[in-house]
Copies of this chain bind each other. A is one copy, B any other.
Amino acid sequence: MKQYNTEIISVGTELLLGHITNTDTRDVAEMLSRIGINVRYQTVVGDNPGRLRDCVEIAKGRADILITTGGLGPTCDDLTKQILAEAFGLPLVESQSERESLYNYLHPDRPFTPNNFQQALIPEGATIFHNLWGTAPGCAFEKEGKIVLMLPGPPNECVPMFREYGIPYLRRLSQEQIVSHSVRIFGIGESGVDQMFRDEMNAMSNPSMAPYAKECDCLLQITAKAKSEAEAEAMMAPVIAHVKERLGEYVYGMDIESVEEAVLPLLNEKGLFFAAAESCTGGDIARRITEIPGASTVFLGGCVTYTNEAKARLLGIDPALIEENGAVSYPVAKAMAERVRSITGADIGVGVTGLAGPDGDGVHPVGTVFVSVAVEGETFVRQLSLGEKRTRSFIRRMAGNHIFDMMRRWLTGLPVV
């Protein structure tokens, strides 16, 4: 069985100079790994014909599949198609259908610019990936024993195009299924997880297991290769069961990206709603839950009370309570969760007040956060010390993780604080 190795080449001076983040490579790589195609190398090169040519030569020498992202658009420095066509000795020819689509796409409400039409040029004989999400078409061809795919750079075009056209185009190559599951963990770090399973991991090859650190939590990735998905799943099942058993309450979910994704179905199951009163997280808890489609069945809304006055006006918190204890305090956190719960009529109210930095309040160090969860008859408060050296965005995200973790614990009958 042939093992196809892939190199992803991202073209763009804006990537090279760090003006934008390369999310395309991540998304393309992730989709490839799901159909059992290995990514061996990723390369980023600027809008420079000579250096792109050199990168293509290196890639031809070490990969079977070359996937490019970027450099297909209408601006003057877009050159990927020219270089790739040249590297494989193919002329560029104008696609009549792409020219027409471009005309129709641009016509009604966008300014018409003649440079848009160079996007209709396609290497001769290539399969066209018609772009339903933007203007530049992608394409694919096979030559000299290599498979070449070209995708546009903007992530909201690259990702759906690779999913809709690229993956089906490549799927026929792979007889092997690679299946992967991630066990998501909160409350114990990557280093602790690594130590816990190190000997086992060293002794494993298929399935394999590896810990990864995320910004505010970590995961154990378990991967198996087999002839079929079912076989791969069967190989992983006992490993997953063992891992979940050992990690116990630290496991918040499987194959999800965040604690809030674990909380949403738990609330749905029980038919419960929550509401949030946020100070230092500034709306991030609300944003995180509402980033998930369907949040309206579990989230009523809430208040962002960034100032003391807002805490009084929006939540009706007694200014004397803040005066006495300070805004960053156990009683204020407790009152925030309880007040937002009663004002909105939610089943669960959550509250966050703390110092996300960079400035402190002269009393507590930066990173001090009180997080609270109020349910019928009981309010739980955790005091967190998230570290003075941490960034504002880390502190806000971690505070949110604690809120969702406390909800998860309460909803599954685990101790909350």
Contacts from A to B (Cβ < 8 Å): 13-23, 25-33, 39-46, 51, 54-55, 58, 62, 73-77, 110-111, 113, 115-116, 132-133, 154-156, 182, 189-192, 194-195, 198, 201-202, 210-215, 221, 275-276, 278, 280-287, 289-291, 293, 295-296, 299-307, 309-310, 313-314, 343-345, 357-359, 389-394, 396
Contact = CB atoms under 8 A, between A and B. Distances in A.
Given A29-B17, A40-B46, A194-B76, A156 B394 contact: yes
B291 A393 contact: yes
B18 A26 contact: yes
Contacts of A20: 26, 212, 214
Interface SS majority for chain A: mixed
B313 A295 contact: no
Contacts of A32: 18
13 contacts: A20-B26, A41-B55, A75-B191, A113-B192, A115-B191, A133-B389, A278-B283, A282-B287, A282-B289, A287-B287, A290-B306, A302-B304, A313-B345
Given A17-B39, A301-B307, A313-B344, A75 B29 contact: no
Contacts of A357: 293
A210 B42 contact: no
A224 to B, nearest CB: 14
B22 A25 contact: yes
A27 B26 CA distance: 17
Nearest to A111: B192
A191 B389 contact: no
Contact of A156 (B41, B133, B306, B391): B391
A118 B358 CA distance: 33
Nearest to A307: B300
Nearest to A159: B391
Contact of A309 (B28, B55, B62, B345): B345
A113 B195 contact: yes
A343 B116 CA distance: 49
A310 to B, nearest CB: 3
Contacts of A344: 309-310, 313-314
A133 B201 CA distance: 28
Count of this chain's copies in the oligomeric assembly: 2
Given A18-B29, A40-B46, A286-B304, A313 B115 contact: no
Given A41-B44, A42-B42, A76-B194, 11 more contacts: A18-B27, A21-B23, A41-B43, A75-B194, A115-B198, A156-B391, A283-B290, A293-B392, A300-B306, A300-B307, A314-B314
A46 B201 CA distance: 17
Nearest to A6: B16
B293 A314 contact: no
A16 B39 contact: yes
Contacts of A293: 357-359, 392
A307 B296 contact: yes
A31 B19 CA distance: 10
Contacts of A280: 290
A291 B296 contact: no
A131 to B, nearest CB: 11
A146 B213 CA distance: 31
B301 A310 contact: yes
Contacts of A195: 111, 113, 115
A30 B18 contact: yes
Given A282-B289, A282-B290, A25 B19 contact: no
Nearest to A199: B76
Given A18-B30, A214-B20, A306 B314 contact: no
